[in-house]
Amino acid sequence: MRMRKRLSRFILAAQSVLLLTHFLLYETWTFSSSHSSSHHETVGPLWLKLVLGTLSFSFVAASLLAFRYTNAPVRAFYKAAAVWLGLLSFLFVAAVSSWTVFGLARLAGLNPNFHLIAEILFGAAFALGLYGVINSNWTRITRTTVHLANLPEAWRGRKAALISDIHLGHVRNGNFLRRMVQKILREAPDAIFIAGDLYDGTAIDAARAAQPLSQLSAPQGVYFVAGNHEQFGDDGKYLNAISAAGVRVLTNEKIEADGVQIVGVPYRNAHGSHFASILHGLRLDPHRPSILLCHAPDHPQVAEAAGISLQLSGHTHLGQFIPWSWFARRIYRQFVYGLSRIGQMQIFTSSGAGTWGPPLRLGSNPEIVLLKFE
């Protein structure tokens, strides 16, 4: 009952924000159009009210359906609503910028054409949003070299693929995963790490979606650790599907791979003193390198204190697109993306291959990371 109340409050808050945002768009456009023609004044606002009113409820409605159903109409509705939510972020910035530019110009004694200002900024916002949709489907290979102390000679020159945040669901599906698998296999990595959020958490045939993973193979193994989207509730159906596809699911455990210790701690357990206790209980050998697969770079100081050599994470998406990327950088700072260091430990945070919510990326790129060990 308590959980249901929290969910209801969240939905109400989210819907209120969306209504206010759409109202701002309406007020901005109708104000900018008010001097253009009487036709816009009488007919335009009516259809605009209907369109924006419908769009304001689209994402919440699509999300509620997506958590229960997985048929083609629901997937199409959810994807369209998610794209609109992303475009809405850009259009909101354009609306605020329109009023800001207009206000500053008036304070300076100028009489600008508000209609023209809004048209230019809305047009630029829409174009950036469309580019973001295109960019989110262009997966790059990011290559980096990692130097680890006490690295066994057998590992020198070896490569490992890191992929995270695929978010299989109503936007990304098995075909997307199949393309990612082929990209990874073309690089012939010696090990493959999947750092959580393979699933989005919406209704899905988990086993069917994970089937392309059965094609993955690497001499030193293929490993997965659960992310927060697998662990919204019972993660059993997801982890069983991944294991059935031949991928080793790591749950608070250590694997030996040619002298390198590979450790996996799922998202739910990678917090505070519990995280530290788990790592301590694994009895890592400080004289050999260790690779920790952990979905989020939330507590790197805990992993560093436990003697981990390299942590591999995802989760941040690098904010996906502006302005959210600015918030992500503020929250995660140097750990938001790429290779960084804390004490004696290195950490690589991937921006992820998929998207959550709006399928847009601007200021971040979807990627598969290829790590070369030296």
Dig out the tokens for 28 from the structure: 């901005």
User: How many CB atoms are located within 10 Å of the residue 38 CB?
Assistant: 9
**This prediction's pTM:** 0.92
Kindly report which listed range (37-46, 220-229, 338-347) carries the lowest average pLDDT score.
37-46
| 170-206 per-position pLDDT tens digit | 999 989 999 999 999 999 999 999 999 999 999 999 9
Give me the pLDDT at residue 46, please: 85
The pLDDT value given to residue 43: 46
Beta strands in the chain (DSSP E): 140-146, 159-163, 191-194, 222-224, 248-249, 253-257, 260-264, 290-293, 310-313, 338-342, 345-349, 367-373
Which DSSP string do the residues of 152-186 spell out, in sequence order? -GGGTT-EEEEE----BTTTB-HHHHHHHHHHHHH
Q: Do the Cβ atoms of 333 and 145 come closer than 8 Å?
A: no
Write down the mean pLDDT value for the chain. Answer: 93
Query: Distance between CA atoms of 193 and 51, rounded to whole angstroms?
Result: 44
Give every CB contact of residue 314 below 8 A, 6+ residues apart in sequence. 164, 165, 195, 196, 197, 227, 295, 296, 349, 350, 351, 352
Q: Which residue has the tokens 């697998």?
A: 230
**What whole-number distance in Å separates Cα of residue 349 and Cα of residue 339?**
7
- pLDDT tens for 200-227 read 999 999 999 999 999 999 999 999 999 9
Instruction: Give the C-alpha separation, 86 to 55, whole Å.
Output: 12
Instruction: Specify the 3-state DSSP secondary structure of 191.
Output: strand
- Give the domains, in start order, of the chain with CATH numbers: 2-135 (no CATH), 141-373 (3.60.21.10)
